[in-house]
Structure 1
Amino acid sequence: MFKKLRNRFLILNMSIISVVMITAFAVIYITTYNNVQTKNQDKLELLSSKPNLGPFGLSNNTKKEEIVIGMVPSDSSLSFNVFVNSDGKILKVISHVDMPEETYFKATELALNRKKKNSVISLEDKRWQYKILPVNGTIVIRGRPESNIINSSGNNYQITFLDVTDSNKTLRELFTTLFFVGIIMLCVIFAISLFFASRSIEPIAEAWEKQKQFIADASHELKTPLAIINANSDALLTNQEETIKSQKKWLDYIKTQTDRMGKLVNDLLYLAKTEDTNSKILHAPFDISQVVSDVVLSMEAVIFEKDITLLQEVEANIIIKSDSEKIKQVVTILLDNAIKYTDEKGYIDITLKKTRHQLVFSIKNSGESIPKENLPKLFDRFYRADPARTQENGGYGLGLPIAKAIIDRLHGKIYAHSQKNDGTTFTFTLAL
């Protein structure tokens, strides 16, 4: 399920990125293509309007040998002009590039066969862009006085050829570069997207696994008291003639297990409510020093009964702005947890102090230490470091998760520290 969800995220991400990248590359290529074509067209217009005719004029008897090699234009564009009559016969060639005669005639033939006034032809590994214009009226050729006026009578045409091989090569190289860069970028983006898609799925998968584990643990916790209740109910039904007083022990067992299940359900509901981010947290100034003292006072009898030495270092009159009832519950949970796991004649050390930026509360109890690898699990639902002892005390492993949920909602931090032969310390901090 999560693999399919990851693949959907990956496909969606790759689709969006691919569309954006292709669009960007297409805009770059089309813009460059239009700029190159516009530049070539402007050159062609300039060459068509001002052909370098040199000292020779047009003649109706032009032969192959009558080809003029003129000066190369200042912009170094390779070009040539061909003048033809209405029958397609070449009258004159004015060229800025020295090529074989057959090349001029072949270029003219290809241009005329295309029957387009402006297009591109391929000839001998070169690309030539041409433009055909009619030559009307009288053309004056500066040079020999006796041949300086020729009447074209509107039946002749000028074909201007411009070498666009380099510009086409540039466009091909740009296309190739964009193509391979696009492929490489897609591969890199795919790898990055796969990594982050997997990372984004991890919290969902973890939450799903925790939910499954929660259901399994809750079912297990409810299974035992339900089995006890069922067994005692069968015992009552077996002895229906007996009085209620004689059956009191079975009823007491049922009542005990019912109370335990009620406590479990209430704790689960409270934990769900505490973790609900939509629930409101009350923030009001209160004396947390007094809250800690009240909690300790309420549990002094239990501490005395277990012959536990209580050490306190509580700074007086610390005022913070938070939810006093929830803070009181956290302190109660931590103190109750410390009492349960402190052996007789052990000690509990409570510390409350204020630093420059935060409030620090810690409670340390003597007794067996907790292995380092188990410390992160202490705040998991239904986790019990010592299942047997916790069951005897009626716990379900929900106290510390509730404490963590409360501190998290109050934007604080809670953690545990344990060392061999030095007991365990629970600490929570709140910003002032």
Structure 2
Amino acid sequence: MLKRLRNKILVLNMLLTTVVVAIAFAFIYLVMDSQIQAENKRKLDAITEGKISFAAQETNTDGSEDAVAADTVQQRLPADYALSFHVKLDPYGKLQNIDSLIDLPEASYHLAAETAWKHKDGHGPISINGRLWQYAVVPATSTQVINENGMQTIIAAQDGSYQISFLDVTGSMETLRTLAITFVFVILAVLAAIFLISLMFANRSIRPVSEAWEKQRQFVADASHELKTPLSIINANYDVLVSNQNETIISQIKWLEYMKAGTDRMTELIHSLLSLARLESETAEINKVPFNISSKVSDIIESMAAALHEKKITLTLSIEPGIVINSDMDRVTQVFTILYDNAIKYTEFSGQIGVSLTQTSRLITCTVCNSGDGIAPRDLTRIFDRFYRIDQARTGDTGGHGLGLSIAKACIDQLGGQLTASSADNEMTTFSFKLSK
């Protein structure tokens, strides 16, 4: 299921990315194409108009210096000159004249004229002799200069013929082609890189979901296991009672007490689970009030003095008096009770427990440490997980369900504090929480 979720995220991300990248590169290509086409049209218009203006000068054949000047000007080429030539056709499309400085076979000129005449309304380009040519078909204009009484008169007239100007656009079309190929390879490279990045982020994005799913699965298994034990006790003792129906309640009281112990254990587990669920809820209420945490910690320690005496534990206290904190008193009390109770449970006979409570200008720090077997590094990272116990074999000795530290962690998180643990095998185990004042 999680793999399908990851694949859906990956496919959706790749589709959106592909569309965005394709649109961006297509826009750039269209802009470049438009600019190149506009530039080619400008050059074609320029050579077409230039040819017509030269034609006006070439008709002045009276031997004056103007004719020579015209011949000279016609040989000058613009700085951005591109290969071009002109042909003149009669009204029926028959080739009449070729004006070209390019060394092309005459058949190529005939082919160019024939192709352009068939597609007079086309925009080209057409392929001639391995090159691409853009052309423009315009009516040819014949002009005549008449000198009369020192006055020059220019007469222009259309005789029905056509002039076709051809411009070599092979270079610009090759530029567009190269640009398109480059864009394709760039898009493929970009998509490949984005795919790898998306795969990495998709795996990372489903990691919390995977962890939550695994925790939920483990929680169901652990809760089922914890509930199974008291239910088994209740069922076993029920069978004993049913098999001795003629006995009095007094004679069967121990079986009833076993059943009561099982129901109490199950009730305690359910209450712990409900408490943890409420603490982890986003809508959980926090009732912050100022209270003396020094007095509260001292009261809890005093109330559990009998347990210390029973195991002959040495207690060392370092509690700064009169510390007042603005927080949820019930939750802070619950946290310290859990930590102190755990310290008593896991301290060996005649062991040691230390409790300290200090303050700074902004924080209070409460520390509970105890001697004992300690906690291995591999277990230290999981001790706040639900139902996690370091030594399953000691469950019956210490009691509990492995929910205490999870509840303590949830309380401190809700209060905006920090709960940490440090230990090692056969060394002191220390739990410490910090809260803002």
TM-score by length of 1: 0.90
Partner of 1:187: 192
Residue number in structure 2 paired with 1:46: 46
Residue of structure 1 equivalent to 2:175: 170
How many angstroms does 1:119 deviate by?
2.3
Work out the percentage of aligned pairs sharing the same amino acid.
47
**Which region of structure 1 is more displaced relative to structure 2, 37-46 or 326-335?**
37-46
| Unmatched runs of 5 consecutive residues or more in structure 2 | 62-72
> Unpaired runs of 5+ in structure 1?
60-67
The counterpart of 2:113, out of the listed 99, 108, 127, is: 108
- 1:28-39 equivalence runs, <5 A: 28-39=28-39
Does 2:415 align with 1:414? no
- Determine the C-alpha separation between the residues in 1 that align with 2:380 and 2:406: 13
Match status 1:22 vs 2:22: yes
Q: Could you say what the CA RMSD is over the residues aligned between the two structures, in angstroms? A: 2.7
CA drift at 1:150: 7.7
Of 146, 160, 181, which residue of structure 1 is paired with 2:165? 160
Picking from 297, 300, 309, the partner of 1:304 is: 309
- Contact (CA 8 Å) 1:56, 1:141: kept in 2 or not? no
Decide whether the 8 Å contact of 1:313 with 1:351 is kept in 2. Answer: yes
Aligned residue type for 1:164: V
Residues of 2 paired with 1:291 and 1:42: CA distance?
91
Q: Say if 1:301 and 1:105 are closer, same or farther in 2 by CA, change over 3 A.
A: same
Shift of 1:6: 1.0
Cα separation, partners in 2 of 1:73 and 1:106, compared to 1, 3 Å? farther
Give the match for residue 139 of structure 1.
143
Q: Deviation at 1:357?
A: 5.1
Equivalent residues, number: 421
The residue type equivalent to 1:31 in the other structure is: V
Distance in 1, Cα, partners of 2:410 & 2:272: 12
Q: Does 1:254 align with 2:259?
A: yes
| Other structure's SS at 2:124 match | strand
Higher mean displacement: 26-35 or 253-262: 26-35
Q: Secondary structure of 1:344's partner?
A: coil
**Deviation per residue, 1:261-308 (Å, 9 max, x gap):** 000011011111111122222333333333322322222232233221
Q: C-alpha distance in 2, partners of 1:294/1:76?
A: 100
- Alpha-carbon distance between aligned partners in 2 of 1:273 and 1:167, rounded to the nearest angstrom: 71
The residue aligned with 2:239 is 234
Matches within 5 A, 1:354-369: 354-355=359-360, 358-369=363-374
Q: CA deviation at 1:18?
A: 0.7
CA contact (8 A) 1:383 1:397 kept: yes
Deviation at 1:106, TM superposition (A): 2.6
Partner of 2:278: 273
Structure 2 residue corresponding to 1:371, chosen from 365, 370, 376? 376
Distance change in 2, residues 1:393/1:35 (3 Å) = same
Please name the residue that 2:67 is paired with: none
- Tell me how far apart the structure 1 counterparts of residues 302 and 383 of structure 2 sit (CA, whole Å): 26
The superposition leaves residues 379-398 of structure 1 with CA deviations (integer Å, 9 ceiling, x where unpaired) of 11111123333323321111
Q: How much does 1:35 deviate?
A: 1.4
Contact kept? 1:277, 1:409, Cα under 8 Å? no
Instruction: Give the 3 Å change call, closer, same or farther, for CA 133–319 of structure 1 in structure 2.
Output: farther
| 1:6 alignment counterpart | 6
Match of 2:8, SS state, is helix
Matched letter for residue 223 of structure 1 = K
- Taking the aligned partners of 2:94 and 2:75, their CA distance within structure 1 comes to 21
Instruction: In structure 1, give the amino acid aligned to 2:327.
Output: S
Q: Secondary structure at the match of 1:382?
A: coil
Shift of 1:96: 5.6
Deviations 1:149-197 (A, max 9, x none): 7865340112121221111111111111110010111111111111111
Q: CA deviation at 1:135?
A: 2.7
- Check conservation: 2:297, 2:336, Cα contact below 8 A: yes
> For the structure 1 residues 95 and 415, does the alpha-carbon distance in structure 2 shift closer, same or farther, using more than 3 Å as the test?
same
For the residues of structure 1 that align with 2:290 and 2:144, how far apart are their CA atoms?
A: 103
Aligned to 2:79: 74
Residue 174 of structure 1 aligns to a residue in which SS? helix
Q: TM-score, normalised by structure 2?
A: 0.89
Shift of 1:376: 1.0
Aligned counterparts of 2:411 and 2:261: Cα–Cα separation in 1: 29
- Cα distance 1:329–1:429, how it changes in 2: closer, same or farther (>3 A)? same
| Shift, 1:243, TM fit | 1.2
Secondary structure of the corresponding residue to residue 119 of structure 1: coil
8 Å CA contact 1:69–1:97 kept in 2: the answer is no
Return 122-131 or 385-394, whichever deviates more.
385-394
Query: Contact 1:274–1:402 (CA<8 Å) still a contact in 2?
Result: yes
